Structures are given as structure tokens and as C-alpha cells.
């Protein structure tokens, strides 16, 4: 089923993101995570597509098994930068064959470690081209989500221009948007309002990444350009060398953040699970989107 139908039937929805294990690790390890996450009764699970990584092949396989073996709707991420149109055609055909009908359509990051990479010579430059091609080849057979960046995408100097490009993605056939991580809800609410003012009327689902350890979050912030409110910065400074307390504070912070989002009528919450089901379960129970022992 296309995920947008789920949002139409019942909101707010809980969705969870997982990533494929590196090739050095057995594929099966991710299914222990899926088994635990299933208890939270998520509306769907999304599976990331590794940037330039050899584990890309695993995305389709994991998504297909999440759906067939665990009975959970699955969304496969797909990035287009670096792919030829022919590659994308083949991947879409495989997704279709495997019964996956939801795609998170992304551009992907421009590789920094490939000096010979020539952006201008790529067959795909932006996510809207991928979205356009999926719709042209498959009509409404696939549900399509796309990424939104509440603080602006790092490559785009003005948020206004980024939202203009976002509108173009939606106009090319996006059903709903999932945001990049953010830690200050005011940034999300402001962004959501600006999207609406620009005529973006589809659901905008906040993406939440709990701060579970100080090093990980500094890396993420560096990569995606999210800002850190003073309150959270204080927590990270205070507990930097105390991992157990850091994790507890991070779980509390994310729970509070989500509670406030739910009070403000978001259609759902997308949790970046980082393949950490125990911590994610604590958050989900805290916010009351699942009850312990119910499933
Ligand atoms: P786009 O929407 O194409 O935007 C990229 C940049 O181009 C922006 O600055 C935009 O303003 C600009 N732009 C867009 N259209 C135009 C135009 N016509 N002219 C000029 N400029 C334009 N990455 C992965 O590798 N794998 C994943 O699985 C993955 N999952 C993600 C999930 C979510 C929810 C999010 C938020 C991000 C995810 N990413 C993933 C990261 C994403 O690939 C990067 O943020 C990437 O740099 C941008 O992707 P995009 O789809 O937002 O690109």
C-alpha cells in the first residue's frame, strides 16, 4: 500500500528508519533489530541506501523481507547521483518485482572523496529528476516520499530557494516529505509554515534523531548542518564523558521534542532508529505511541 494512504487513514503515525549492515557484518543482524522494532507497531519501516557504499544491494533485500516476513510496510531509499538512467530503471524494476511500492527518492550527497567526479556530466543532478522518472515510468504504482531540510540544505545559501526547489520536487509527484534531523521544534514549525506559504500542502513529517552519544551527534551535525540549541549543547557538554547519563538525557530530550510535535498536529513522527531498538523503544513508550507488552 502507498504510505500516503496510511497517513490519510490514521494520524499521527510512527515510522522508523533502519540502515543495512556493512558488508563485513551478516545481513541477518538487521533482522534482530526489525524483530524488536516490530513490537512498537510502526506504520512503516524505511531502509536507507548507502552513499556510494557496497551495501546498497542490501536495501532492496531488507525492505522486501521487512514487508514479506514481518508484515510491516516498507519504504526503500534510493539516491540518484552517480547513477545512470539505465541503473535507475533496473533498480525500479527490481523494487517492483519484489513488491516494494514505497520509495524515498533522494539525490544523495555529492562524493567529496572522488576528485574525478564531475557533477555536470551526471545523468542525474537533483532528486526531482528521479521523482519525475519514477512517475513517468510507473505512474502511481509507487508511493514517493522526498527529503526536506528545515534549516536549509547545506549546498543552498538561502532557505527560500531551498523551499522553492522542494516545491518543485512535490510538483513532480511527491506524496509526503520527511525532514532532516533537527533539535529545536521552533525551526520545524517555522519551516512548515513557510512550506505552506509556498503551496506545499502534503504532509511534512519531522525526522527525529535522538542524541545517544556525544561523538555521533557531532558527526551528524557536521554532515547535515543542523544547529544545536543551547539546552542540548549543555547536556552534551555535561555528559560527554558519561555515556550512560548521556543516553538517558538524549532519550528524555527526544521524548520531549516529539511530545511537543504531536501536540501541534503533525501527521507523524519518523525516528532515525540507528538500529538501536532498546533506546528507540524507550522513546516510543515515553511518548505513548506504543504500550509496553501490548504487541
Ligand atoms: P535535492 O532535493 O536534489 O536537493 C539538493 C540540493 O540541490 C539542495 O541544495 C537544493 O536546494 C538544490 N536544488 C534542487 N533542485 C535544484 C535545481 N533545479 N536547481 C538548483 N539547485 C537545486 N542520503 C543517502 O545517501 N542515503 C539515504 O538513504 C538517505 N536518506 C535520507 C533520508 C532523509 C529523510 C533525509 C532528510 C536525507 C537522507 N539522505 C540520504 C541525505 C540526502 O541524500 C542528502 O541530504 C543530499 O545531499 C540531498 O538530497 P535531496 O534528495 O534532498 O536533494
Give the whole-angstrom CA distance, residue 43 versus residue 9. 11
ipTM over 0.85: yes
CATH number of 3-294: 3.20.20.220
What is the CA angle 121-125-131, rounded to 5?
140
Closest protein CA for atom 14 of ligand 1: 165
Q: What is the pLDDT of residues 37-47, one digit of tens each?
A: 999 999 999 99
Query: For residue 295, what pLDDT band results from cuts at 50, 70 and 90?
Result: very low
Mean pLDDT of 56-81: 97
Q: Is the CB of 109 under 6 A from ligand 1?
A: yes
Angle between helices 85-97 and 57-70 (to 10 degrees): 20
Band of the pLDDT at 219, cuts 50, 70, 90? confident
Q: Is the CB of 83 under 6 A from ligand 1?
A: no
Mean pLDDT of 171-196: 98
Ligand 1 neighbour 220 (Cβ under 6 A): no
Question: Is the CB of 55 inside a 6 Å radius of any atom of ligand 1?
Answer: no
Comparing CA positions, the residue from 171, 177, 130, 173 lying closest to residue 150 is: 177
Residue 263 is a catalytic residue = no
The whole-number pLDDT of residue 112 equals: 87
Rounded to two decimals, the pTM is 0.97
Locate 131 and state its grid cell: 521523482
pLDDT digits 0-9 by tens, 111-165? 988 899 999 999 999 999 999 999 999 999 999 999 999 999 999 999 999 999 9
Pairwise CA distance, residues 246 & 1, whole Å: 39
pLDDT of 56 above 90: no
Q: Whose C-alpha lies nearest to ligand 1, atom 10?
A: 162
Q: Which residues contact 51 (CB under 8 A, 6 or more apart)?
A: 79, 108, 109, 111
In sequence order, which residues have a C-beta less than 8 Å from that of residue 141 and are 6 or more positions away? 96, 101
CA angle at 277 for the pair 217 and 10, rounded to the nearest 5°: 100
Amino acid at each position: 500500500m502507498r504510505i500516503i494512504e496510511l497517513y490519510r487513514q490514521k494520524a499521527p503515525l510512527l515510522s522508523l528508519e533502519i540502515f543495512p549492515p556493512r558488508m563485513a557484518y551478516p545481513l541477518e543482524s538487521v533482522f534482530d533489530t526489525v524483530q524488536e522494532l516490530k513490537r512498537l507497531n510502526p506504520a512503516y519501516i524505511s531502509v536507507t541506501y548507502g552513499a556510494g557504499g557496497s551495501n546498497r544491494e542490501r536495501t532492496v533485500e531488507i525492505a522486501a523481507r521487512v514487508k514479506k516476513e514481518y508484515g510491516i510496510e516498507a519504504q526503500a531509499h534510493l539516491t540518484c547521483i552517480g547513477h545512470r538512467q539505465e541503473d535507475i530503471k533496473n533498480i525500479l524494476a527490481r523494487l517492483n518485482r519484489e513488491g516494494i511500492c514505497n520509495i524515498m527518492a533522494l539525490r544523495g550527497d555529492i562524493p567529496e572523496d572522488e576528485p574525478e567526479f564531475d557533477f555536470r556530466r551526471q545523468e542525474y543532478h537533483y532528486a526531482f529528476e528521479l521523482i519525475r522518472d519514477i512517475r513517468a515510468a510507473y505512474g502511481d504504482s509507487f508511493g514517493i516520499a522526498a527529503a526536506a531540510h528545515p534549516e536549509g540544505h547545506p549546498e543552498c545559501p538561502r532557505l527560500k530557494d531551498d523551499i522553492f526547489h522542494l516545491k518543485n520536487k512535490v510538483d513532480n509527484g511527491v506524496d509526503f516529505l520527511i525532514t532532516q534531523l533537527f533539535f529545536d521544534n521552533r525551526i520545524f514549525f517555522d519551516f512548515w509554515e513557510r512550506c505552506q506559504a509556498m503551496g506545499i500542502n502534503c504532509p511534512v513529517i519531522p525526522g527525529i534523531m535522538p542524541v545517544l552519544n556525544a561523538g555521533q551527534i557531532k558527526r551528524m551535525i557536521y554532515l547535515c548542518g543542523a544547529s544545536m540549541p543551547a539546552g542540548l549543547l549543555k547536556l552534551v557538554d555535561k555528559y560527554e564523558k558519561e555515556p550512560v547519563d548521556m543516553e538517558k538525557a538524549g532519550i528524555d530530550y527526544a521524548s520531549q521534542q516529539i511530545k511537543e510535535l504531536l501536540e501541534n498536529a503533525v501527521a507523524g513522527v519518523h525516528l532515525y532508529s540507528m538500529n538501536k531498538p532498546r533506546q528507540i523503544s524507550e522513546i516510543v513508550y515515553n511518548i505513548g505511541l506504543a504500550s509496553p507488552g501490548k504487541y
